[in-house]
């Protein structure tokens, strides 16, 4: 990276606080229950944990919202939560952070999607995840879906970019996205879809950020070390969806950027491949990528900033975010190390 490239990335980062992003998403409550290993139970061959702490943080699309907020952007979330304690906890969290929550629909008799992770360890050792319990909701009532659509359409005019975070939990659908976007590329629109990326084809989306397993699942194949196959599938998906760019994240192998009219461009991993926790890293990546595009960055520039962010967040335990100071330090240290 040259000094001019570094300065360009830093200038984009400085503009993050000037951006407004509409996030249409599946909210998830990520709960972490931590304890010390006491002994093995006599009732069954399982560990007994002495409870130490429980905390809940935004997960799924709510984690993307959290990352955008911590990067200084103004965020307009459109999502659904149940009228239950995880839903109320998410609303309290964002209210304290100053995030506008008027676009979040509170649905009676509906379960807020939740993931409870149990972490176990000895005194003075790193806790490891030993069990995860997921709570998934029933289909979202049609009346609630229509209210979400109206809110999203009303808020879209205030946004510099739209981020769609689809975790397959029933809030975000291609039909909903199509009605919000109207098939016209009026502004930057990005998408991260866990299970149904290609279903969002032809809706006027600008760019997508699937990870490699998600791309493999769409084409029922395995890429592995076959870079030629990755190149074919990446470009095939980009063309099918009508995207200007597609960024495939590859874990320890970094990213590959596919753009219209360009050869695929790889970006090596930032930091070490000895990660602490990959939970929510994709949310951080699309948050930074979207903000950089909204600030006027090119797709490759935005992907480079997102790559730094991903490298930072996987070194943190649990569902985490990245701040502007950490990103700036990463950009500066990367050029200093070359």
How far is Cα 308 from Cα 9, in angstroms, rounded to an integer?
Answer: 11
pLDDT at 3: 86
- Give the residues of the chain that fall short of pLDDT 70: 183-186, 272-277, 318, 335-338
* Residue among 80, 258, 248, 83 nearest 173 (CA): 80
In degrees and rounded to multiples of 5, residue 23 shows phi and psi of: -115, 115
- CA–CA gap between residue 254 and residue 212 (Å, rounded): 10
Q: Whole-angstrom Cα distance, residue 136 to residue 145?
A: 17
Q: How far is CA 48 from CA 37, 41, 126, 128, 182, in A?
A: 6, 6, 17, 14, 53
Return the closest-CA partner of residue 245 out of 267, 213, 276.
267
Is 26 an active-site residue? no
The active-site residue out of 26, 84, 192, 283 is 283
290, HSE (Cβ side, Cα atoms, 13 Å)? 36
pLDDT at 333: 87
User: Helix H segments across the chain?
Assistant: 3-14, 61-70, 85-97, 142-156, 174-181, 212-219, 227-241, 281-294, 299-313, 324-336
Here the tokens at position 74 are 């103004």
User: What per-residue confidence (pLDDT) applies to 146?
Assistant: 93
Structure tokens at 171: 């809030």
Q: Are strands 114-121 and 161-166 parallel, antiparallel or unpaired?
A: unpaired
Q: Whole-model pTM?
A: 0.92
List phi, psi (to 5°) of 20: -120, 125
Length of the chain measured in residues: 338
CATH for the stretch 3-28+60-112+138-336: 3.40.1190.20
Per DSSP, the three-state class of 276 is: coil
């Amino acid at each position: 990276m040259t000094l001019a490239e570094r300065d360009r990335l830093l200038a984009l980062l400085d503009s993050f606080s000037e951006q407004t992003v509409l996030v249409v998403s599946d909210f998830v409550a990520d709960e972490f229950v931590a304890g010390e290993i006491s002994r093995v139970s006599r009732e069954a061959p399982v560990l007994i944990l002495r409870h130490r702490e429980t905390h809940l943080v935004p997960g799924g699309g709510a984690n993307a919202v959290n990352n955008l907020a911590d990067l200084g952007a103004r965020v307009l979330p459109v999502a659904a939560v149940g009228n239950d304690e995880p839903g109320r906890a998410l609303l309290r969290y964002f209210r304290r952070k100053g995030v506008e929550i008027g676009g979040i629909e509170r649905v009676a008799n509906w379960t807020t999607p939740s993931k409870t992770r149990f972490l176990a360890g000895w005194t003075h050792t790193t806790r490891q995840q030993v069990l995860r319990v997921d709570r998934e909701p029933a289909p979202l009532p049609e009346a609630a879906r229509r209210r979400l659509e109206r809110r999203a359409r009303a808020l879209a005019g205030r946004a510099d970019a739209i981020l769609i975070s689809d975790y397959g939990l029933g809030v975000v659908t291609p039909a909903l996205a199509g009605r919000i976007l109207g098939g016209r590329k009026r502004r930057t629109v990005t998408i991260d879809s866990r299970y149904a990326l290609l279903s969002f084809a032809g809706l006027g989306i600008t760019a997508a950020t699937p990870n490699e397993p998600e791309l493999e699942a769409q084409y029922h194949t395995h890429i592995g070390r076959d870079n030629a196959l990755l190149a074919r599938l990446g470009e095939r998906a980009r063309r099918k969806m009508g995207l200007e760019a597609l960024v495939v994240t590859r874990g320890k192998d970094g990213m590959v950027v596919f753009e219209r009219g360009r050869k695929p461009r790889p970006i090596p991993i930032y930091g070490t491949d000895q990660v602490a926790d990959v939970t929510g890293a994709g949310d951080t990546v699309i948050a930074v990528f979207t903000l950089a595009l909204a600030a006027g960055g090119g797709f490759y520039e935005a992907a480079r900033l997102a790559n730094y962010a991903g490298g930072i967040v996987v070194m943190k335990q649990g569902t985490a975010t990245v701040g502007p100071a950490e990103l700036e330090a990463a950009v500066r240290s990367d050029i200093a190390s070359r």
